[in-house]
Amino acid sequence: MRLACDLHIHTCASDGTDTPFMVVNKAKIAGLKAIAITDHDTVAGVAPALKAAQVFSLEVLPGIELSTEEKNKEVHILGYLINLKHKEFLAQLELFQKERKKRLVKIVDKLRSLGFSVTVARVEALAKGESVGRPHVARALMEIKAVKSVSEAFEKYLDPGRPAYVPRFKYTPVDAVRLIRLAQGIPVMAHPGLTGLDELIPDLVKEGLQGLEAVYPGYSPQMVAHYCNLCRTYKLIPTGGSDYHGPEKANEEDFLEVRDSRFEVRSLNGLDHKFAEVTVPYSTAQALKDLARAGN
Ligand code: AMP
Ligand code: FE
Ligand code: FE
Ligand code: ZN
């Protein structure tokens, strides 16, 4: 058995398309020892995953991926082993969800004024979970055949500078690190190699950042080495995971085939990272647990 873990996984609680049960099942089949559930701005997938983990005798680490912005760029901060009962933390998540709903209304308004017949209700139905975002809007655009793929929807309408772009609630990486620490969690900068803002790392470390996602799909060996070196310099934990969002991208025919079934959005995500495409040794999960137990 590979004592490996995938510490970055999305479920349908945010923009992933597998249920928490399905990802735990997949982890068992893949022979993993542990996974972390890291949905965007919600922990709604964690409890069902923990329940499934008992059935499959697999370890699930509670986690989250907070969406923030700095210098007009998206910065994602992962938070592991947070106290899921922390009142202020939960109140803040509720605020994120409210803001996401308000933003969705604005995005849909813009699309409707461009002539597309998308509705808030339909996007929410496609989202299923609580953390509604642009990927769900992209799926709604695919459904009405306004675009052929999620990526096309981002490129034409939803990316910054495109006609239906609406920024998210302003939360900075520093805010996210502080919130995660407040709730006794371990903050880790997600996919720094994608974000391209390494210069933020020293200040985030001062605020309590405790890890960098040093292993990620598509990283070159040099990038992995670079982030492992930064971890040594700043005494951070190098973490890693697949950032899995669901099965591989479907083509339009697949979409039509499954459009009215219960699983209609299962294979429609734009990020086609494979499950457990990259893994880290169990000692990484152990290091996170040791830090959390020590009250960081
Ligand atoms: P939101 O949080 O609603 O702003 O949506 C951001 C999420 O959309 C990211 O975390 C990714 O999961 C996804 N995403 C961003 N850009 C793309 C893209 N070009 N294609 C597919 N998914 C994307
Ligand atoms: Fe996502
Ligand atoms: Fe991310
Ligand atoms: Zn992610």
Chain mean position to CA 112: 28
Q: Provide CB contacts within 8 A for 135, sequence distance 6+.
A: 15, 150, 245, 269, 270
Q: Closest Cα partner for 288 from 220, 243, 241, 224? A: 241
CA distance 209 to 190: 11
Measured from the Cβ of residue 233, the count of other Cβ atoms closer than 10 Å reads 11
Instruction: Provide the 8-state DSSP code for 200.
Output: G
CA of 294 to the centre of ligand 2 (A): 31
pLDDT greater at residue 283 or residue 265: 283
Residue 17 phi, psi (nearest 5): -115, -10
Asked if 207 and 176 count as a contact pair (C-beta separation under 8 A), the reply is: no
Confidence (pLDDT) at 256: 37
pLDDT higher than 60, residue 20? yes
Ligand 1, atom 22, residue with closest C-alpha? 270
Residues with CB under 5 A from ligand 4 (ion): 65, 243
As a whole number of angstroms, the distance between CA 151 and CA 109 comes to 21
Q: What is the mean pLDDT of the chain?
A: 90
Q: What is the pLDDT of residue 128?
A: 86
Domains of the chain: 4-84+172-293 (3.20.20.140), 93-158 (1.10.150.650)
| d(CA 243, ligand 3 centre) in Å | 7
Site to substitute for ligand 1 among 154, 170, 248, 272, most atoms within 8 A of C-beta:
154
**Ligand 1, from 72, 159, 271: best to mutate by most atoms within 8 Å of Cβ?**
271
- Contact 291/278 with Cβ under 8 angstroms? no
Q: How do residues 241-282 score in pLDDT, each as one tens digit?
A: 999 999 855 444 344 333 333 333 333 444 678 899 999 999
Q: Tell me the pTM.
A: 0.92
Tokens 């409890």 found at: 47
225-242 tens-digit pLDDT = 999 999 999 999 999 999
Residue-wise pLDDT for 80-96, tens only, equals: 999 999 999 999 999 99
Distance, in Å, from the CA atom of 27 to the CA atom of 29, rounded to the nearest integer, reads: 5
> Which residues' Cβ are closer than 6 Å to ligand 1?
15, 40, 67, 133-135, 150-151, 154, 168, 270-271
- Return the sign of the alpha-carbon dihedral for residues 100, 102, 107, 112: positive
Strand partners, 200: none
Report which residue type is found at 211: G
Query: What confidence category does residue 50 fall into, taking pLDDT thresholds of 50, 70 and 90?
Result: very high
In the beta sheet, which residues pair with residue 10?
none
Q: What is the mean pLDDT of residues 121-146?
A: 93
What's the pLDDT tens digit per position in 185-209? 999 999 999 999 999 999 999 999 9
Mean pLDDT of 31-38: 97
What confidence tier does 175 reach under pLDDT thresholds 50, 70, 90? very high
> How many CA within 13 A on the CB side of residue 98?
6
Q: Place 2 in a pLDDT band, splitting at 50, 70 and 90.
A: low
| 282 compared with 151, residue with greater pLDDT | 282
pLDDT at 296: 58
Record the tokens describing residue 136, joined without a space.
């769900």
Of 109-113, 116-120, 260-264, the poorest mean pLDDT is in: 260-264
Predicted pLDDT of residue 260: 35
Looking from the CA of residue 168, the nearest atom of ligand 1 is 4
Distance 3 CA to ligand 1 centre (A): 30
Phi first, then psi, for residue 104 (nearest 5°) are: -60, -45
Alpha-carbon distance of 62 to 110, in angstroms, equals 36
Residue with tokens 């735990």: 24
